A and B are shown apart, each in its own frame.
Chain A
Amino acid sequence: MSVVDSPATRRPRDPGGPQQNRVPGHAAPRRRKRNSGLVPWLLALPALLFIAGLLGYPLIRMLVLSFQNMRLRELISGRTPPWVGFDQYTRVLSDGVFWGVVGRTVAFTVVSVLISVVCGLGIALLMRRVSHGVRLFMIIAMMFVWALPQLVAAQIFRWMTDSDFGVVNYLIDLLPGVNYQNHSWFVNPWQGWSVITTLVVWAGIPFLAITLNAGLTQVPKELLEAATVDGATPWQSLRNIILPILKPLLMIVTTLSVIWNFGLFTQAWVLRDGHPEPQFQTLATYSYTQAFGQARYSLGSAIAVITVLLMFGVMVFYIRQMFRIGEVD
């Protein structure tokens, strides 16, 4: 499948130390067996505790919360909220508004990831062709974009698209015959989402371009030269040589982009000034407004759990793909 083999995959299969020591049956003295089993666990214990405390506990709390009905009264008094079984889930899943939000989030994710990856790959390919100085300049420029906190970038975009004083309206208005004075970018959801998508893609490209550029350095020059000698067009070289080599990396960065963009919050929140209208709600903002805006903590938890499950559905596909690639290697 792949044109090159990395040395790492050639390593002979190592069955692992602890398994070798294990004697079948109960012939070995009990004490020794316990020791050899315990030491790795003991060594891993701090890390495991850390993960359990940091990830496991809140996750379990959220799961538990989603089966209760926690409102402001319970939060303040500290009383155990009443158990309601799957009520929160039925309420969420039978709500048309929720499915609207899911559809919107998925559509945004697909569109924004597609644009980001294509643009990122395009810029990465461009970076292979330009001179060293220009490449350095591109990397530094993108590093600046990358280093900008999401909140700051979103705030800048909000000012740029402000209807009263925004520079975007000012510039468009300079075109002859166009009146963009006081144009509001968030009346029409298509326009509003274009602004949000532009922001997300703009902020997402540096990571993609720099990573994919690094990946492109792994493509052997001889292969491309040989292909050219054989009469392959640049398009054929891209499809049959570069993309297959890049595939594992593309897979990973696409997966990461899906995870990030699916959880869109800051950009939509800031651009809508902390009060996103229904047509600008995504799963993350919807869950947040339900839980913290309206004190429906359990409903918000249920939405969050469903979001994780939905994400997981997508992730399983990718993870399987990744394993498959590993096996072929």
Chain B
Amino acid sequence: MKRKIAAVAAIAATLLGAAACGSNSDDDAPTTSASGKVDGAGKTLKVWLMVDAQSAWKPVVDDASKRFTDATGAQVNVEYQQWANHLTKLDATLAGSDVPDVVELGNTEFPKYVFSGAFGAVNPGDYENSSSWLQGLKGACDFEGKTYCVPYYAGARVLIYRTDLFKAAGIAEAPKTYDEFLSDADKLQAASKSNAKFGAVYMPGQYWYAAMSWVKSTGGDIAKQEGDKWVGQLSQPSSIEGLQRWVDMAKKYSKADPTKNENDQANTFAQGTAAMFYGNAWEQGAAEEVKKDPNNPDSPMVPTKVKGKLAAAPMPEVPSFLGGSNLGITEKSQQKELAAQWIKAFTDSKSMAGLVKANALPNATSLLDQAATDNKTIAPAALAAKNSWFPPNAEKWADVEKSAVLQTMLTDILTGKKSVADGAKWADDQINSTLNES
């Protein structure tokens, strides 16, 4: 008897397993449509957004969800994630069956998940402005002729500077050329000579988005695809030139910790020990005002030492890294059509206008000019976004980021532990072995 039950159970398990495999096969994965009407009465959509949406543009999320609920009858449950651990959490969640339907990931994080079959294909034509989606965002969604995510918002990095210190040093306006940027830095440094903690530029050593922007400024590159292999390009002469340019600048003008990254730069800059930094447009606001209680999203804002003394301009002659996020529908989601409807509402022109108000860049080039006129704060960033770059669209690029290859190399060449050429060579070797790993 017992044996019989066991046999039945085994057969049932096999069948269930086979069924599960069948539904997971990605050979003929259907594309989820966002057109037409979906009845979602009694259902709840689970959405994972990053914490920025909660702190900077929660009204946009609420408005899109409300319009979605009105149209479909389904409820939305938005959970906000932290950048520090969201991928580990996502991995663990995707391994189970109770998965979020919509997930936001950074654009450089997407390819790894798309290649691994975590997201379902979408039909770009269903979404507003999809014909002019920013290439830096959309590139991460493309795989074998299909699109696996929807661009959400972008951020381009700009030069943020202290107007009061510029004035005191006799500088009338933001630098227009890289040489001007350097001579301004000299003047600022001379004007604040008495302060031993002062550096004209705040440039943390492991800020690889900045360093790679400098690499791009001299025509260099991180890696490029040759056939079906990726080849690191950092030890090419044009890349070396850019790295050297960055190292010279950071060594001379920056007092920042060579082992820190850019995560805290706005807060550090707010202490008033630097005159310029290279950051996202919204970091200007983050430097001028902070939440009284950082753990409470509703706490009042308090001004910092640099409140009202900051302005932004495009970083002269340095192409901007185009960061940003995309939204994907998980492959395991049981309500893909509903998920597509929500993304559609959250990325339409109305939502994008809301994001622009909150100092984020919209997801399409067609919206950039309008954004620049609507919101003066992000005008420099909108300009910078037109001359932008993004990391190699390789399946394993996220692993390069995670293994801190570029960060380690930058600390090494900045502190003189390795020469620029040796550091670049080492980084190339690491990049080659990571990107081409089978």
Residue of A76, A182, A278, A292 touching B116 (CB-CB under 8 A):
A76
Using CB atoms and an 8 Å cutoff, list the residues of chain B in contact with chain A.
20-21, 24, 84, 88, 91, 94-95, 112-113, 115-118, 196-197, 206, 255-261, 263, 268, 271, 273, 331-332, 399, 402-404, 407-408, 411, 415, 417
Spot the interface stretch: A214-222, A269-277, A317-325. A269-277
Ordered nearest first, which 7 A-B pairs have the shortest CB separation?
Answer: A163-B257, A72-B116, A293-B402, A73-B116, A186-B259, A294-B399, A184-B257
* Smallest CB gap from A79: residue in B: B21
B402 touches A181 (CB 8 A): no
Chain B positions within 8 Å of A179 at CB level: 196
Q: Determine which of B95, B206, B259, B261 lies in contact with A76 in the assembled complex, contact meaning CB atoms within 8 Å.
A: B95
Contacts of B271 in A (CB 8 A): 164-165
If the complex has contacts A181-B196, A187-B415, A295-B112, are A277 and B407 also in contact, measured as CB distance less than 8 A?
Answer: yes
User: B407: which A residues are within 8 A, CB to CB?
Assistant: 275, 277
Known A-B contacts A182-B197, A187-B415; A78 and B95 likewise in contact (beta carbons under 8 Å): yes
Q: In the complex the two chains form, is A295's CB within 8 Å of B91's CB?
A: yes
Given contact pairs A75-B94, A179-B196, A289-B402, A273 touches B117 in the complex (Cβ within 8 A): no
Task: Contacts A179-B196, A292-B91, A293-B399 known; list 6 others, CB within 8 Å.
Answer: A73-B115, A76-B95, A79-B21, A163-B256, A275-B407, A277-B411
Tell me whether A275 and B404 are in contact in the complex, defined as CB-CB below 8 angstroms, given that A79-B21, A164-B273, A292-B88 are known contacts. yes
B118 touches A72 (CB 8 A): yes
Contact A295 B197 (CB under 8 A): no
18 pairs from A and B in contact (CB 8 Å cutoff):
A72-B113, A75-B91, A162-B257, A164-B256, A164-B257, A164-B271, A182-B197, A182-B255, A182-B257, A184-B257, A187-B258, A187-B259, A187-B417, A278-B404, A278-B408, A289-B402, A293-B402, A295-B116
Residue A71, interface by CB 8 Å: yes
Whether A77 sits at the interface, judged by CB under 8 Å, is yes
Q: With a CB–CB cut-off of 8 A, which chain B residues contact A273? A: 260-261, 263
A165 to B118, CA, bound (A): 42
CB distance from B329 to the nearest CB of A (A): 14
CA distance A275 to B94 in the complex (A): 24
Bitwise, A143-185 to B at CB < 8 A (1) or not (0) is: 0000000000000000000111100000000000001011010
Nearest residue, chain B, Cβ from A189: B417
| Alpha-carbon distance A72/B403, docked complex (angstroms) | 16
B93 to A, closest residue via Cβ: A76
Q: How many residues of A contact B (CB 8 A)?
A: 29
Please provide the chain A residues from 32 to 73 with a CB less than 8 Å away from any CB of chain B in the complex.
71-73
Contact of B117 among A77, A163, A182, A293 (CB under 8 A): A77
List A contacts of B115 (CB < 8 A).
73
Contacts of A294 in B (CB 8 A): 399, 402-403
* A289-B403 in contact (CB<8A): yes
A162 vs B260: C-alpha distance in the bound complex, in angstroms?
10
Contacts of A275 in B (CB 8 A): 206, 261, 404, 407
Q: How far is the CB of B409 from chain A (nearest CB, A)?
A: 10
Given A76-B118, A295-B399, A277–B408 Cβ distance below 8 Å? yes
Q: Which residues of A contact B (CB under 8 A)?
A: 71-73, 75-79, 162-165, 179, 181-182, 184, 186-187, 273-278, 289, 292-295
A287→B256 CA distance, assembly (Å): 30
> How far is the CB of A177 from the nearest CB of chain B, in Å?
14
- Determine the distance from Cα of A292 to Cα of B91 in the docked complex, in whole angstroms: 8
- Bound: A132/B274 CA distance, A: 54
**Chain A hits for B94, CB < 8 A:** 75-76
The residue of chain B having its C-beta at the shortest distance from the C-beta of A292 within the complex is B88
Given A72-B91, A72-B118, A73-B117, do A293 and B403 touch, yes or no (CB 8 Å)? yes
Q: Which residues of B contact A163 (CB under 8 A)?
A: 256-257, 259-260
Decide if A277 touches B257 in the complex (CB within 8 Å): no
Give Cα A143 to B179, complex, Å.
Answer: 59
Closest to B97 in A: A78
Question: Closest CB of chain B to A249's CB: distance in Å?
Answer: 40
Smallest Cβ-Cβ distance to B195: which chain A residue: A181
B258→A184 contact, CB < 8 A: yes
**Which B residues are CB-close (under 8 A) to A182?**
197, 255-257
In Å, the complex CA distance between A164 and B415 comes to 17
Q: How far is the CA of A277 from the CA of B115 in the complex (A)?
A: 27
Chain A contacts of B402 at CB under 8 A? 289, 293-294
List residues of chain A with CB within 8 A of the CB of B268. 164
C-alpha gap A281/B196 in the complex (Å)? 33
The residue in chain B whose Cβ has the minimal distance to the Cβ of A274 is: B84
Residues of A contacting B118 with CB < 8 Å?
72, 76
User: How distant is the Cα of A293 from the Cα of B261 in the complex, in angstroms?
Assistant: 18
Q: Give the nearest-CB partner of A276 in chain B.
A: B404
In the complex the two chains form, is B91's CB within 8 Å of A187's CB?
Answer: no
Query: Contact: A181 with B91, CB < 8 Å?
Result: no
CA distance A293 to B86 in the complex (A): 11
Bound complex: CA A151 to CA B260 (Å): 19
A277 contacts B259, C-beta separation under 8 Å: yes
Residue of A nearest to B273 (CB): A164
Docked pose: A273 CA to B260 CA in angstroms: 9
**Distance, CA A72 to CA B260, complexed state (A):** 29
A contact residues around B261 at 8 Å (CB): 273, 275
Contact in complex: B411, A187 (CB < 8 Å):
yes
- A78–B99 alpha-carbon span in the complex (Å): 13
Q: List the A residue with the shortest CB-CB distance to B268.
A: A164
CB closest chain-B residue, reference A290: B403
- Measured CA separation A63–B273 after assembly (Å): 52
Residues of A contacting B263 in the complex (Cβ-Cβ under 8 angstroms): 273
A173 to B, closest residue via Cβ:
B196
Chain B residue with minimal CB distance to A294? B399
Q: Which residues of B contact A187 (CB under 8 A)?
A: 258-259, 411, 415, 417
- Closest B residue to A74 using CB positions: B116
Residue pair B331, A76 in contact (C-beta under 8 Å): yes
Measured CB to CB, the closest approach of chain B to A151, in angstroms, equals 13
A187 to B259, CA, bound (A): 7
Please name the residue on chain B nearest to A73 by beta carbon. B116
Query: Chain B residues with Cβ under 8 A from A78's Cβ?
Result: 20, 24, 95
Name the residue on B nearest A182 (C-beta): B255
Task: Give Cα A179 to B131, complex, Å.
Answer: 57
Q: How far is the CA of A242 from the CA of B226 in the complex (A)?
A: 71
Closest-by-CB residue of A relative to B434 is A294
| Bound Cα distance from A296 to B358, whole angstroms | 38
User: Whole-angstrom distance between the alpha carbons of A78 and B91 in the complex?
Assistant: 12
- In the assembled complex, the Cα of A67 lies from the Cα of B415 at a distance in Å of 41
